Structure 1
Amino acid sequence: MARVGVEQSLTNISEALREKGYDVVDLKQENDAQGCDCCIISGIDSNIMGMQDTVTQGSVIEANGLSADEVCRQVEQRFGK
């Protein structure tokens, strides 16, 4: 199953993805995203400093304004589920 990194503040999304069988990793630090197939971020403090260092090759989904179900659907679409 895909490994999905989820920003700590998005607990409802973490729980929904775990229920669907995804391996969910809490993104507490920048390096936590390494090895993740996909990362879910809140988008609230996205790129404040204008830096563009890439930590993961996986997809990034900005959850701002989306429900947990909508985010799960986007993850499933990315993995062809």
Structure 2
Amino acid sequence: MARVGVEHSLTNISEALRDRGYDIVELRQESDARGCDACVISGLDSDVMGIANTVTQGSVIEANGLTAEEVCRHVEERTNLAR
């Protein structure tokens, strides 16, 4: 199953993805995203300073305004395309 990084504040999304069999990595710092097939972020503090460093080749999914189920669907769609 795909490896998914999830921002540490999104515990409901981590649990939903773990229940679906995804390997979850808690994102606390930039280096945690390395090797992830997808990353889920809250989007609350994205691009605050106008700096965008890329540390993963995987998809980045912004969870702001989405339910855990909607985020899971996005992850499934994007990780299935990568295979």
Supply the distance in 2 between the matched residues of 1:79 and 1:61 (Cα, whole angstroms). Answer: 11
What is the SS of the residue equivalent to 2:80?
A: coil
User: Which letter maps to 1:8?
Assistant: H
Q: RMSD across aligned C-alpha pairs, in angstroms? A: 1.1
| TM-score, length-scaled by structure 2 | 0.94
Q: Which residue in the other structure is 2:53 paired with?
A: 53
| TM-score, length-scaled by structure 1 | 0.96
User: Which letter maps to 1:37?
Assistant: D
Q: Measure how far apart 1:53 and its partner are.
A: 1.2
**Residue ranges of structure 2 left out of the alignment (5+ in a row):** none
User: Which letter maps to 1:33?
Assistant: A
Identical columns (%):
72
**Residue ranges of structure 1 left out of the alignment (5+ in a row):** none
Q: Which residue in the other structure is 2:35 paired with?
A: 35
Q: Structure 1 residue runs of 4+, over 3 Å off?
A: none
Q: Which has the higher helix share?
A: 2
Task: Give matches, 1:1-81, under 5 Å.
Answer: 1-80=1-80
